[in-house]
Amino acid sequence: MAQPEYLRIAAELRQRIASGQLAPGDQLPTLPALCASYGVSETTIRNALRLLATEGLIETRARAGTRVRPRPPIHRMAADRYRTTPGAKSTPYTRDQGIGWSEYRLDKRFERVKADAELAGLFECEVGERLLARHFVFHDNDQATQMSTSYVRWSDVAGTPVVDPINEPWPGGTRAQLGSLGIRVTAITESFTVGMPTELEAATLRIGGGVPVLRYTRRHISDTGRIVEVAHPIVRRGDTTIVDFRIDLED
């Protein structure tokens, strides 16, 4: 069976973008010009462009035409990113992004919730335990690159600076924050999945609906073995995120 024309055209334009022939920021030819070039109808061209937009390769703006979207740099998330340097103004996120404190911006919204069955399983607590939910969107300069919801036990943080969003971002991140409460974190677990973005994720991270996202669940565990924080989920675009692990083996 012959390939639909719009798929063939999309594949050719995709290859031109991948090769750099169409560079980030370049304007694509107008709709009539593409129709004339490929000898097809406007509907066929629109279908091809819609597919590329879904993949996050191009964007159309009023009075600016259709352009190749800038491709964010690839960020490597190293397993040692949770190690802290006393007094340093940084977090695991700023280390992942390779940015300074002045380039870091955090949108936040806090609310009190009760643990449902899923959160109770992650915390290993009773259903209905009171939690503080912190909803975050992380910005590298003006670009949102990560979003998450982080939960802590209300019994641990009530009446402390942790409950006030004005204190975010917290230098040193969650581990340092919990340390300020006398909670010593000695282990962190992470589990990863990959999927297609929800409408909210695609809109927040400004990605096409065809760009996969990396979702992971993180848990901070204290020296007593108690789970003191759960981030569920942390979301990043999957096409530009690499997770690195180093495993040292003894002979």
- Asked whether the bond before 169 is cis by omega within 30 degrees of 0, the reply is yes
What pLDDT was estimated at residue 37? 92
Distance in angstroms (rounded) separating the CA atoms of residues 183 and 226: 10
Instruction: Check residue 163 and give its pLDDT.
Output: 97
pTM to 2 decimal places: 0.82
How far is Cα 53 from Cα 37, in angstroms, rounded to an integer?
Answer: 20
* Whole-number Å distance between alpha carbons of 169 and 228: 19
Backbone angles phi, psi at 241, to 5 degrees: -120, 130
Mean pLDDT by 10 residues, the chain (251 residues): 85 89 90 92 92 84 82 77 76 89 95 98 98 97 94 98 96 94 96 95 90 95 98 94 85 61
Please answer whether residues 66 and 28 qualify as being in contact, where contact means their C-beta atoms are separated by less than 8 angstroms.
yes
